[in-house]
Structure 1
Amino acid sequence: MTDNKNWVFILNPIAGNGFVKKYEDTIKEKLNEFGVDADLVYTQKKGHASQIADVYAKKGYKHIISVGGDGTLNEVVRPLVGNKDVIVGIIPAGTGNDFIQILGFPNRFEDKHWPIFFEQNTMDLDVGTCNDNYFLNGMGLGFDAEVAAQNYEGEDIVKKGGKDKYIRHILKTLLFFKEKRMKFLSDNGNGYTDCFINTTSIGRRFAGGFFLTPEAIANDGLLDVCSIEKLSLFQRFRILPMVPKGTHIKDKNVTYYKTANLDLQFSEKVPYHLDGELFFDQKFDIGILPGALKIIYNPQGPHY
């Protein structure tokens, strides 16, 4: 049984190369099947999901559901962080769908997952902070961010394509990426490095299947950091096949640790991503808000 009032589903029509539009009938069918009376609202521009979520939270809606990818969810939760009166949910409908595996659900719901979703089992999820923004899965600098940058045709226009586009962007970046000098300060120490990758995370998986931070726990109150120093081309191609299995963290060129705070600085503005969304900055004040988001998860699935 579900509380059939105060539900809103926020749908991103361009997520998953338009998959969301095809998914609308399925969502309506499941709402009817489980007796849930909900509003379905489509986003119209970047940032609109945050506006919609804020409006519905202020109206007193208790269930605010994101239908899209990781970037859509990131927008939805921005006005909801710290609001334990609201239950957040995600119906994965993006391309990479890296965040959803934290919750024990698959990249696409099957019939058996809908009743579990509407049971409303919840966990208190940690939320990462970077300067004035939030992240739920991870924040990436260096190679990771350059791969994200390759996913954009302009500042706000995401290139079309499925998971294969990530592989193309990864291979191109492996060949041509040049490391930049980075200053770091954390609970683990401080110093300088030529940054090939610096991924700071709540979750484990990125780019549709790369486990950069394989030991992350999403509600332990700590950030997992995977920092990889300057690599030769040979080293890049040697380490890359390790990442899908998470075995790269044993390599001598990789530093892996947990921290509650991390300060990073470059000599110029560099690209970085938050849950796959692209930004640029020079200094990074990174932290964590333990248990700041109440979210639906699958207790029967491989959640963490």
Structure 2
Amino acid sequence: MVQIGQTGKRALLVVNPRARRGTGSIAAAVDRLEAAGLDVREVKAGEQHKIDDVIRAEAKSCDLVIVGGGDGTLNAAAPALVETGLPLGVLPLGTANDFARTVSIPPDLQKAADIIAAGNLRDIDLGEVNGHLFFNVASIGFSAELAAELTQHAKKRWGVLGYAVVAARILLRSRLFTAHIDHDGTTEHIHTMQVSVGNGRYYGGGMTVEETATADDGKLDVYSLEVDHWWRLLALLPALRKGTQGQWDDVRAFPTTEVTIRTRRRRAVNTDGELSTYTPAHFSIRPKAIPVFAPPAG
């Protein structure tokens, strides 16, 4: 944990207007930041001004970056944050805000601003798959299909409920697929509905990768849902929310720092709610990759 003074610091606030609360007023949060002595300059990201390009262009004129958006927005900002080394503040404006929850940043924007103003920094890990960075989790199978079908309009209108509606529809048609998992000197051959590789704790609007996972534990948590009926997955839901699914017989789970997943046909990989790459997928961990304003761990 590092403490820094905020008076006179130049903060670049990048807001995603497509985030669920991105078009609302964040004036009260900005007032809190400026009252703490931060010099805040707001820039809206969009189709013409991608968030990572904005951060790179403004890096020399700011001391920290504040991202107003959800997990997808943070995912898009990750490459520029790693390249510049700038500290990250989060104003959670998205649908699920799983990363914010993982590091105990509250959904209330003024309280989130107070955390940035307090100046406490935590160095958090990032996951990486085929060169694409992620904060929370990367998945192959069910979650990737969900990401493909859950439109921005549905997320903005229905919020977390939108996940449930679309997930139920996909669940009824889901089938197991064959995969090969290479990790820690072994290869496992599996039939699965979904393989998830987690960096943080939460994903998918409140699901938990592993009950003891943190965003700075230096490891990836992998689990594979090897259930043969959709109703079995429904029975697993309480465990998936708690992060105890690894205790079930039809769930394969293990920690690692590097894993490769191969499939018979090319399958999309969902990283923080965005489809970013395809199998074969090589995953690794980047320990302490980004300093983030957050409450003390524990």
Contact 2:260 2:281 in 1 (8 A): yes
Structure 1 residues 83 and 53: CA distance shift in structure 2, 3 A = closer
- SS of 1:79 mapped into structure 2: helix
Tell me the equivalent position of 1:169: 166
Q: Which structure 2 residue ranges, 5 or more long, are not aligned?
A: none
Structure 1 residues 178 and 104: CA distance shift in structure 2, 3 A = same
Tell me the equivalent position of 2:138: 139
| Alpha-carbon separation, structure 1, partners of 2:186 and 2:113 | 45
Tell me the equivalent position of 1:72: 73
- Runs of 4+ in structure 1 off by over 6 angstroms are none
Tell me the equivalent position of 2:101: 101
* Residues 179-203 of structure 1, C-alpha deviations (whole Å, 9 max, x = no match): 2111110117312111212111111
Aligned pairs for 1:198-277 (under 5 A) are 198-277=195-274
Letter of the 1:30 counterpart: R
| Alpha-carbon separation, structure 1, partners of 2:84 and 2:268 | 30
> How much does 1:228 deviate?
1.6
Structure 1 residues 153 and 32: CA distance shift in structure 2, 3 A = closer
Structure 1 residues 177 and 153: CA distance shift in structure 2, 3 A = farther
> How much does 1:46 deviate?
7.8
Structure 1 residues 71 and 54: CA distance shift in structure 2, 3 A = same
Structure 1 residues 270 and 188: CA distance shift in structure 2, 3 A = same
TM-score (norm 1): 0.89
> How much does 1:289 deviate?
0.9
RMSD: 2.2
Letter of the 1:181 counterpart: T
| Alpha-carbon separation, structure 1, partners of 2:116 and 2:30 | 15
Contact 1:47 1:75 in 2 (8 A): no
Q: Percent identity?
A: 26
Residue range with higher mean Cα deviation, 177-186 or 91-100: 177-186
TM-score (norm 2): 0.91
> How much does 1:159 deviate?
6.8
| Alpha-carbon separation, structure 2, partners of 1:47 and 1:271 | 26
Tell me the equivalent position of 1:30: 32
- SS of 1:144 mapped into structure 2: helix
Tell me the equivalent position of 1:122: 121
Letter of the 2:275 counterpart: L
Tell me the equivalent position of 1:90: 90
